[in-house]
Amino acid sequence: MFSRALKPVAAVAVQNGAKNFSTTSQRNYKVVVAGASGGIGQPLSLLLKQNALVTHLALYDLAPVTPGVACDLSHMDTPAKVTGHKGPEQLADAIKGADLVVIPAGVPRKPGMTRDDLFNTNASIVRDLANVVASQAPKAIMAIITNPVNSMVPIASEVLKKAGVYDPKRVLGVTTLDVVRACAFIGEINGVNPTNVSVPVIGGHSGVTIIPVLSQSQPAVKLSDQGKIKALTERIQEAGTEVVKAKAGGGSATLSMAYAGARLAGSVLRGLNGESNVVECAYVKSDITEAAYFANPVVLGKNGVEKNLGYGKLNAYEQELLKAAMPELLKNIKTGEDFAKK
């Protein structure tokens, strides 16, 4: 059901040079990575530089190393042009004319912190970036990785609303890592290649708001015991914390997030490019539940989110998980909206 990550670079007629490249893709896309010099930003940019649909990769960050990251990536023999943009005075130029703006800018967790503890620092970063998207690339799709995702998407949405350019189809919270993790863990349990596993993860992106719908896994999860299903569910919900603890103060997931972010970005571009049946879970404006934003499978198309597929049938345990998630999700959304309206 879910689209798989990156098309292999080998599929691109690189040996014939960039000129021939355009024959394999119908359109050319400018992709911005905001926060490009960070733990996620660098490997994400590395993966996007290999994406056949990207013709311009604009790297934006505050860090002094940013022009160097761009220079480094520009030596890769793939067609995408890479530009580096450092500091707020170069932000407009980075964003101008973008088709897709992927945002991993902001601080990550340290052990003992919740994602909500990042709100005070990251809220203004996402607000300021959204303002520039509104003025420089109002039709761009924003894919927000920055935590807490549950609150950052409402912030960006409110900013775009205020600017009069909001299109709910074009603002996505990136929850792909939850799906990637669920597939990895199920692959391990079932003893199968995880790339052949498909499972929706719905709700939001933090703790109890992460709801793996294991009953819809294809193939079915080989766990008959409800206790083991509960343990797997909780492992997926707490997988971010597992990485934060393992990195022992060195930050949170970066490499798996870059992989997941590149997959989501690739799917957005494939949708823009006219491919049909591109499906990913993403946290989007929603009327599926009482929460104004909710993650579940969506079809990505020429305008971003073409269709919300909802979450299908939940078993009794998953319905309980949804019930438990709702107060937290509603609170996170309100926090974001209140901040942006201030």
Please check whether residue 171 is in contact with residue 285, taking contact to mean a CB–CB distance below 8 angstroms: yes
Helix axes 119-136, 316-341, angle to 10 degrees: 70
104 binds, among ligand LMR, ligand NAD, none (CB under 5 to 8 A by kind): ligand NAD
Residue 129 or 291 having the CB closest to ligand NAD: 129
The answer to whether residue 253 forms part of the interface with ligand LMR (CB under 6 A) is: yes
| Residue written as token pair 């023999």 | 77
Q: How far is the CB of 274 from ligand NAD (least distance, A)?
A: 27
Looking at residues 219 to 238 of the shown chain, list those that interact with ligand NAD (rule: CB under 6 A). none
Residue 93 or 188 having the CB closest to ligand LMR: 188
Query: x-or-dash pattern for ligand LMR, window 189-218, by CB under 6 A?
Result: ----------------x-------------
Q: Which residues pair with 279 in a beta bridge?
A: 299
243 binds, among ligand NAD, ligand LMR, none (CB under 5 to 8 A by kind): ligand LMR
Query: x-or-dash pattern for ligand NAD, window 62-81, by CB under 6 A?
Result: xx------------------
33 binds, among ligand NAD, ligand LMR, none (CB under 5 to 8 A by kind): none
Q: How far is the CB of 149 from ligand LMR (least distance, A)?
A: 7
Residue 109 or 270 having the CB closest to ligand LMR: 109
The residue from 123, 155, 177, 305 that contacts ligand LMR (CB under 6 A) is 177
39 binds, among ligand NAD, ligand LMR, none (CB under 5 to 8 A by kind): ligand NAD
Looking at residues 262 to 281 of the shown chain, list those that interact with ligand NAD (rule: CB under 6 A). none
**Nearest C-alpha neighbor of 210 from the set 317, 78, 306, 329:** 329
Residues marked as catalytic? 205
The answer to whether residue 243 forms part of the interface with ligand LMR (CB under 6 A) is: yes
Residue 32 or 322 having the CB closest to ligand NAD: 32
Among all residues, whose Cβ is closest to ligand LMR?
A: 240
The answer to whether residue 118 forms part of the interface with ligand NAD (CB under 6 A) is: yes
| Residue written as token pair 């503890």 | 117
Please check whether residue 221 is in contact with residue 317, taking contact to mean a CB–CB distance below 8 angstroms: no
Q: Which residues of the chain form contacts with ligand LMR (CB under 6 A)?
A: 108-109, 115, 147, 177, 205, 240-241, 243-244, 252-253
